[in-house]
Amino acid sequence: MKRWQTVVAYVIIPGIDGSDGQHWQTLWEQQWGTSAVRISPASWSAPDLDDWVDAVQAAYDDACRQDSRVVLVAHSLGCWAASTWLRKNPSSPMGGAFLVAPPDPQGPAFPRQAAATFLEVSAQPLPCPALVVGSTNDPYCAPEAAADFAARWEARWHLADAWGHINSASGLGPWPHGRELLDSLTQQ
């Protein structure tokens, strides 16, 4: 069995339209420098699941070139792209999946037209350690639904305070608590 180096490479998987300059994912990516690779789907604004999964694959391939342990860091719709990619690649070496604020595809606020190819996704056991973080007042997913996704993904579950969709509008900045949660996953 290959022993992992202590170096971690991060694959950043934002939600629709990517993460803006004030989003914790972008701030973390800037801190990580070359240890972070952001996905680059062609369909940021009108997400196509296959395109996003292909983008995760490309970013994973880039991250693997660093001879590091790879961790997926996903937000919102990116959680579904990450979980779909993981399901299609169960034997890919992974250090973990950090899944923040997954939207409920069956929920009333889900962007059904813009993200129609994501409507049929389902949470199934993930082949690596995972942590799902949800908020008590996420407009895109009730805490009970997020906890259910975590259970079906066989992931640890963490319910955060009332931070909305845990995005730049939440005013979290570099989100130190999120980094602690991520570290708890990567140090397993």
- Asked whether the predicted pLDDT for residue 68 surpasses 90, the reply is no
In DSSP notation, the chain reads -PPPPS-EEEEEE--TT---TTSHHHHHHHHHGGGEEE---S-SSS--HHHHHHHHHHHHHHHHTT-SEEEEEEETHHHHHHHHHHHH-TTS--SEEEEES---TTSTTS-TTTTGGGTT------SS-EEEEEETT-TTS-HHHHHHHHHHHT-EEEEESS-TTSSGGGT-TT-HHHHHHHHHHHT-
Residue-wise pLDDT for 12-26, tens only, equals: 999 999 999 999 999
**pTM: predicted TM-score of the whole model, two decimal places:** 0.95
- Asked whether the predicted pLDDT for residue 4 surpasses 70, the reply is no
Domains of the chain: 8-186 (3.40.50.1820)
Residue-wise pLDDT for 100-124, tens only, equals: 999 999 999 999 999 999 999 999 9
Write down the pLDDT at residue 153: 98
